[in-house]
């Protein structure tokens, strides 16, 4: 606190007399307390006697202390001139600005699903700048380099950034993979938000080299312990960008969407390929629902395949071809084939699909089958020929009862 002159207090004569009176009361009470505490040294139960003495004298000491303290606080509030300057973070450990004192709630943003067009090329998108220099400095400062518990460092900002990162990752996965079970969605999110992933992003952007870190933390190290530190700094930097700019959340979400698309590039492309696509109506007439892939986009791909080529005496089956491990998570990776039996065809392979579950792999196989338009057209022709033959009383196939 800066020193002030007697005139700065602007106290009247009565107030000064009250201050002196309470100051004298305080001195007398403390002196009496000191004498009695000395006498407690010879008491059988020293602690009990001392506590009894303190309790008896606090009734005189506390009112004087409270009066003097309240007078000082009131006077300081009345005579503080101009807006208080935001204190800068420094190595001396002075009390810094508390970012939560005026926490800005970012405006909501809309997130659209990932598409293959969101996947960047060989270079990462530009790092969004943190427009508030104080927040940026705090985000890049290791807690071990601050001498004051209240000093700003990346500890609290990392906690806030972690929440935003989880929210953005969850929203993107929810939007992009509408049929993905909650368990699989959690696995995908973990790949995006785990310390290894975020720590490597921090290294790619050179964030550790700009940070204030202890001497034992090498900004170029890539072991697990160091990646944990870099992941924390990445999360704190995200919070600094969001808090330092009204458009910060929007900039961060678009940036995260871009860099994360590289981690889930395979899944995004598979999802896009598996989405039903409507075919244009047949020339000279309306689409009868059997002319193209995805006649009803709300149906499961297996059901759509039945609508395209199925019939009373046709059997469509799905069998596991191979099982391996998914390269990112190490979970089982299933490969399923779709097969056709009927109208003279036996065990005809229609398509192959792979995924982390047999259900998803089977659906992917059905999609691949529907994309083989030449084969679909041939099987539809077989169905039509069989229908005409049956109407004429013929039985061209052995499996037609």
* 15-28 pLDDT per residue, tens: 666 677 767 777 87
Q: Is 335 helix (H, G, I), strand (E, B) or coil?
A: strand
Q: Is the pLDDT reported for residue 366 higher than 90?
A: yes
pLDDT in tens, 77-99: 444 443 333 334 444 444 444 44
According to CATH, the topology of domain 278-391 is Double Stranded RNA Binding Domain (3.30.160)
Q: Is the pLDDT reported for residue 285 higher than 50?
A: no
The pLDDT value recorded for residue 87 is 39
Mean pLDDT, range 270-275, rounded to an integer: 79
The pLDDT value recorded for residue 106 is 78
- Kind and range of the H or E run holding 353: strand 345-355
Q: Is the pLDDT reported for residue 292 higher than 90?
A: no
373 token code pair: 């338009």
Mean pLDDT, range 249-262, rounded to an integer: 95
How many other C-beta atoms lie within 10 A of the C-beta of residue 221?
14
* Confidence bin at 398 (pLDDT 50/70/90): low
Q: What is 106-270's CATH number, 1.10.1520.10, 1.20.140.10, 1.10.10.10, 3.40.50.1360?
A: 1.10.1520.10
Q: Which of 103-107, 285-289, 290-294, 313-317 has the highest mean pLDDT?
A: 313-317
Model's pTM, two decimal places? Answer: 0.53
Mean pLDDT, range 336-358, rounded to an integer: 91
Mean pLDDT, range 358-365, rounded to an integer: 89
pLDDT: is 169 or 323 the higher one? 169
DSSP codes of every residue in 294-318: TSSTTS-HHHHHHHHH--TT-EEEE
Mean pLDDT, range 50-77, rounded to an integer: 63
The pLDDT value recorded for residue 288 is 40
Average pLDDT, the chain: 77
Share above pLDDT 90 across residues of the chain, in percent, rounded to a whole number: 37
The pLDDT value recorded for residue 372 is 93
* Confidence bin at 282 (pLDDT 50/70/90): very low
Q: Is the pLDDT reported for residue 104 higher than 90?
A: no
Mean pLDDT, range 42-61, rounded to an integer: 68
355/327 Cα distance (integer angstroms): 12
| Cα angle, residue 282 at apex, residues 279 and 284 outer, rounded to 5° | 150
Q: Is the pLDDT reported for residue 379 higher than 90?
A: yes
Q: Is the pLDDT reported for residue 331 higher than 80?
A: no
Counting every residue, how long is the chain?
401
201/231 Cα distance (integer angstroms): 8
The pLDDT value recorded for residue 376 is 94
The pLDDT value recorded for residue 167 is 95
- Contact (Cβ atoms closer than 8 angstroms) between residue 370 and residue 308: yes
Q: Is the pLDDT reported for residue 30 higher than 50?
A: yes
Mean pLDDT, range 46-65, rounded to an integer: 68
pLDDT: is 286 or 376 the higher one? 376
The pLDDT value recorded for residue 6 is 38
Mean pLDDT, range 199-216, rounded to an integer: 88
**Scanning the structure block, which residue is given the tokens 């020193």?**
3
For CA atoms 156, 158, 162, 164, the dihedral sign is positive
Q: Which of 228-237, 241-250, 296-305 has the lowest mean pLDDT?
A: 296-305
pLDDT: is 258 or 111 the higher one? 258
* 343: alpha, beta or left? (left if phi > 0; alpha if psi -120 to 50): left
pLDDT in tens, 105-143: 777 888 899 999 999 877 889 999 999 999 999 999 988
pLDDT: is 294 or 217 the higher one? 217
Bridge partners of residue 353, in order along the sequence: 336
The pLDDT value recorded for residue 37 is 72
Q: Is the pLDDT reported for residue 368 higher than 90?
A: yes
Mean pLDDT, range 211-238, rounded to an integer: 81
pLDDT: is 79 or 39 the higher one? 39
The pLDDT value recorded for residue 392 is 78
12/74 Cα distance (integer angstroms): 14
The pLDDT value recorded for residue 154 is 85
10-47 b/e with 16+ CB inside 10 Å = b?
eeeeeeeeebeebeebbeebeeebeeeeeebeeeeeee
């Amino acid at each position: 606190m800066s020193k002030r002159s007697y005139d700065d207090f602007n106290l009247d004569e009565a107030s000064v007399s009250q201050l002196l009176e309470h100051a004298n009361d305080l001195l007398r009470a403390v002196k009496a307390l000191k004498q009695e505490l000395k006498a407690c040294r010879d008491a059988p139960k020293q602690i009990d006697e001392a506590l009894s003495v303190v309790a008896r004298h606090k009734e005189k000491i506390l009112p004087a202390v409270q009066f003097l303290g309240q007078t000082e606080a009131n006077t300081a509030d009345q005579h503080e001139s101009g807006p208080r300057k935001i204190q800068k973070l420094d190595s001396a450990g002075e009390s810094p600005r508390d970012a939560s004192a005026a926490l800005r709630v970012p405006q909501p943003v809309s997130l659209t699903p990932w598409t293959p067009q969101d996947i960047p090329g060989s270079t990462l998108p530009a790092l969004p700048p943190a427009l508030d220099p104080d927040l940026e400095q705090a985000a890049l400062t290791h807690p071990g380099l601050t001498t004051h518990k209240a000093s700003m460092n990346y500890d609290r900002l990392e906690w806030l950034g972690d929440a935003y990162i989880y929210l953005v990752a969850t929203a993107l996965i929810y939007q992009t993979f509408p049929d993905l079970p909650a368990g699989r969605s959690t696995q995908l999110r973990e790949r995006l938000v785990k310390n290894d992933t975020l720590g490597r992003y921090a290294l790619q952007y050179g964030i550790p080299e700009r940070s204030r870190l202890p001497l034992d933390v090498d900004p170029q190290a890539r072991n697990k312990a160091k990646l944990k530190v870099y992941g924390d700094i990445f999360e704190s930097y995200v919070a600094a960008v969001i808090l330092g700019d009204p458009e910060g959340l929007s900039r961060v979400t678009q940036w995260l969407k871009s860099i994360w698309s590289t981690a889930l590039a395979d899944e995004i492309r598979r999802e896009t390929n598996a989405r039903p696509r409507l075919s244009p109506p047949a020339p000279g007439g309306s689409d009868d629902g059997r002319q193209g892939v995805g006649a009803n986009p709300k149906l499961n791909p297996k059901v759509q395949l039945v609508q395209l080529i199925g019939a009373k005496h046709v059997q469509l089956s799905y069998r596991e071809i191979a099982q391996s491990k998914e390269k990112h998570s190490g979970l089982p990776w299933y490969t399923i084939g779709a097969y056709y039996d009927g109208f003279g065809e036996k065990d005809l392979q229609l398509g192959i699909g792979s995924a982390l579950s047999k259900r998803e792999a089977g659906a992917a196989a059905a999609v691949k089958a529907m994309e083989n338009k030449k084969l679909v057209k041939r099987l539809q022709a077989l169905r039509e020929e069989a229908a005409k033959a049956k109407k004429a009383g013929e039985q061209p196939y052995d499996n037609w009862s």
